[in-house]
């Protein structure tokens, strides 16, 4: 397989974005609905260079249109190379910890390494995060360029990294069998999986192995006797239970894969592996632990999402009635979502509609008093980005704040001074990333379907535009694609339909269906 595009977890749609980075170009982005409103679905794409001239031309055109950088300035590369040769290694040596990384195959920018174990009647999580500040100093060329970029951009043939690869895929990456500086989080959990104690400090670490999701899942399914996988599964399940108890929610939308073999494109849906969910819960746990430290000290930066708008929830109840789906009055929004079946086209339409309550994800910096709205409503918790500093600027700063708080030291002046400007920086970079990734995915879909214009496909209507009920979104399952669709009258939301592919243009990056007569 060369690529995958996924209608992925609610976490990404709501701004959590704990999808793992991938050297073979993985990204998640939010597709805007046909009515121009809020997010309907999110997708993830993982593509390697496929030798496709159409893809290469299309990617070049996207980068030129958006005026994206194709390389780092010479002074930035030189500063990065010098930093890579002289890292600031901490005195604490924790290389005895049997940490491992779990990432897609071929990944090189490894932000996190993990070890989990039973601890008394509870659990202990060790989570090592790449220490970018061991290489980058405030105001140096690498730092200034990182502030201009904000985050790594993922495309179909390459990535536009936040930091030069000599750092992000070399000296700062938690590659196996290499001693690396890291922020070592230790989070103790009680028997129910709730946070009992938090610590983070700089340490030298060494990952034992670079693993991938499919391989770990196969080991678990085969009954591996490695106790770590038993513990990881148990912690992941307990954290999912905690999420449900808090009122948090995730949307089990189907995932879509694009394969490119000898220049030929095919599409199919796939199920998300359980190990991906359990691993994601560990990352979310550390983000919540970091938020807890900052909230208690009243200094830091949170990732926020306001509560669902009552009017949006009311519209969802109407949608459920239209689709013929029972929503008991005693069942709240998270409970209703958990009751839906992603294998049903009608209920996928409902799941898609449920994402329309996700509005206003952002960052809130604070010092001395908490933000007026500090919560992340999708998680039903306070949360921050802290686990991906190689690919996201803000994580370096949240890590530094938490290090200082755990050491009972003042937050470094350089980090404190940057906090107020980070929300705007990340909002701009997030908008740019969304535009880029949307353009790339539109290119991929159009290229995949271009040879099939005029064919008729089976699908289901999953969205109808509010301003024009003859326009909407269709999910076609074979090949697996989500795209715009038009009809001559109101589209039948949730209904099985036959649609004709009337346009798939890689140059314009447009794919469009019409209801078949």
Distances from the Cα of 449 to the Cαs of 132, 407, 441, in angstroms?
A: 41, 56, 12
- Mean pLDDT over 376-403 rounds to 97
**What would the two tokens of residue 134 be?**
């061991």
Position 135 confidence tier, pLDDT thresholds 50, 70, 90:
very high
Burial 148-183 (b: 16+ CB within 10 A, else e): ebbbbbbbbbebbbbbbbbbbbbbbbbbeeeebbbb
Determine the pLDDT at residue 173. Answer: 98
pLDDT at 6 over 60: no
When pLDDT is cut at 50, 70 and 90, the band that residue 368 belongs to is very high
- Residue 30: pLDDT band with limits 50, 70, 90: very low
CA distances from residue 200 to 99, 188, 302 in whole angstroms, order as listed: 16, 12, 18
Pairing of strands 362-367, 100-102: unpaired
CA 44, 170, 184, 382: dihedral to nearest 10 degrees? -30
- What average pLDDT does the segment 145-172 reach? 92
pLDDT in tens, 44-61: 444 444 456 777 888 899
Cα 472 to Cα 264, 325, 363, 514, distances in angstroms: 28, 20, 31, 10
So what's the pLDDT on residue 105? 83
**CB distance 294 to 300 below 8 Å:** yes
Query: Is pLDDT of 517 > 70?
Result: yes
| Global pTM value | 0.86
**pLDDT score at 293:** 98
The per-residue pLDDT for 264 is 59
CA 194, 197, 201, 206: dihedral to nearest 10 degrees? Answer: -50
**Distance between CA atoms of residues 157 and 105, nearest Å:** 16
What is the predicted pLDDT for the residue at 348? 77
Burial class (CB in 10 A: 0-12, 13-18, 19+), 223: exposed
Q: Which residue(s) pair with 483 in the sheet?
A: 474
Reported as a single tens digit per residue, the pLDDT across 64-119 is 999 999 899 999 999 999 999 999 999 999 999 999 999 988 889 999 999 999 99
DSSP states of 182-249: EEEEEEEE-TTS-EEEEEEEEEEEEB-EEE-HHHHHHHHHTT---HHHHHHHHHHHHHHHHHHHHT--
| Cα-based torsion angle of the residue sequence 79, 85, 91, 94 in order, rounded to the nearest 10 degrees | 110
Report the percentage of the chain scoring pLDDT > 90. 62
Q: What are the residues facing 28 on neighbouring strands?
A: 44
Percent of the chain beyond pLDDT 70?
Answer: 85
pLDDT at 493: 87
Report yes or no: 347 and 405 within 8 Å, Cβ to Cβ.
no
What pLDDT does residue 123 have? 98
Q: Indicate if the pLDDT at residue 7 is higher than 60.
A: no
Angle at 333 between CA 330 and CA 336, to 5 degrees: 75
**pLDDT of res. 129:** 98
| Spatial CB neighbours of 120, under 8 Å, sequence gap ≥ 6 | none
Q: What would the pLDDT profile of 475-514 be if each residue is shown by its tens digit?
A: 787 776 778 999 999 999 888 899 999 999 999 999 999 9
Instruction: Give the list of residues 6+ apart from residue 128 with CB closer than 8 angstroms, or none.
Output: 97, 99, 112, 113, 114, 174, 180, 182, 183, 184, 185, 203, 205, 207
What's the rounded mean pLDDT across residues 168-197?
98
| Mean pLDDT, all residues of the chain | 86
- Give the tens place of pLDDT for each residue, 314-356: 878 878 887 788 999 999 888 898 898 877 777 877 887 787 7
Alpha helices in 298-344 (DSSP H): 310-323, 333-338
């Amino acid at each position: 397989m060369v690529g995958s595009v996924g209608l992925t977890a609610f976490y990404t749609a709501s701004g959590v974005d704990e999808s793992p980075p991938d050297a073979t170009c993985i990204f998640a982005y939010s597709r805007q609905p046909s009515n121009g409103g809020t997010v309907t679905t999110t997708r993830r794409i993982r593509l390697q260079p496929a030798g496709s001239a159409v893809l290469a031309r299309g990617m070049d055109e996207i980068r030129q249109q958006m005026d994206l950088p194709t390389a780092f300035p010479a002074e930035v590369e030189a500063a990065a190379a010098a930093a890579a040769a002289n890292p600031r290694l901490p005195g604490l040596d924790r290389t005895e910890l049997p940490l491992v990384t779990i990432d897609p195959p071929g990944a090189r920018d490894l932000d996190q390494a993990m070890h989990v174990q039973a601890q008394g009647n509870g659990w202990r999580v060790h989570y090592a995060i790449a220490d970018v500040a061991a290489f980058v100093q405030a105001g140096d060329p690498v730092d200034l360029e990182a502030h201009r970029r904000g985050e790594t951009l993922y495309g179909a043939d390459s990535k536009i990294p936040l930091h030069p690869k000599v750092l992000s895929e070399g000296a700062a990456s938690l590659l196996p069998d290499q001693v690396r500086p890291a922020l070592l989080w230790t989070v103790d959990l009680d028997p129910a999986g709730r946070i009992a104690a938090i610590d983070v400090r700089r340490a030298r670490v060494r990952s034992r192995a670079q693993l991938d999701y499919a391989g770990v899942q196969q080991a678990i399914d085969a009954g591996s006797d490695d106790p770590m996988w038993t513990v990881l599964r148990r912690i992941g399940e307990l954290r999912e239970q905690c999420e449900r108890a808090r009122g948090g929610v995730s949307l089990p939308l189907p995932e879509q894969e694009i394969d490119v073999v000898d220049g030929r494109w095919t599409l199919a849906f796939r199920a998300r592996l359980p190990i991906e969910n359990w691993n994601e819960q560990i990352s979310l746990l550390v983000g919540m632990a970091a938020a807890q430290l900052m909230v208690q000290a009243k200094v830091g930066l949170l990732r926020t999402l306001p509560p669902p708008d009552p009017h949006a929830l009311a519209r969802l109840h109407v949608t459920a009635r239209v689709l013929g789906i029972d929503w008991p009055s005693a069942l709240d929004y998270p409970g209703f979502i958990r009751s839906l079946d992603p294998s049903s086209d009608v209920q996928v339409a409902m799941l898609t509609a449920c994402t329309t309550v996700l509005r206003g994800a952002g960052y809130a910096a604070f010092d001395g008093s908490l933000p007026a709205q500090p919560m992340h409503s999708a998680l039903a918790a306070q949360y921050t980005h802290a686990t991906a500093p190689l690919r996201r600027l803000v994580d370096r700063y949240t890590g530094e704040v938490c290090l200082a708080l755990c050491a009972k030291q003042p937050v470094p002046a350089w980090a404190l001074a940057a906090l107020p400007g980070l929300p705007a920086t990340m909002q701009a970079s997030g908008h740019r990333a969304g535009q880029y990734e949307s353009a790339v995915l539109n290119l991929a879909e159009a290229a995949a379907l271009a040879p099939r214009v005029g064919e008729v496909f089976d699908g289901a209507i999953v969205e109808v535009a509010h301003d024009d009920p003859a326009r909407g979104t269709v999910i076609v399952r074979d090949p697996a694609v989500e795209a715009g669709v038009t009809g001559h009258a109101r589209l039948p939301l949730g209904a099985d339909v036959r649609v004709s592919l009337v346009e798939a243009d890689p140059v314009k990056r447009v794919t469009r269906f019409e209801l078949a007569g």
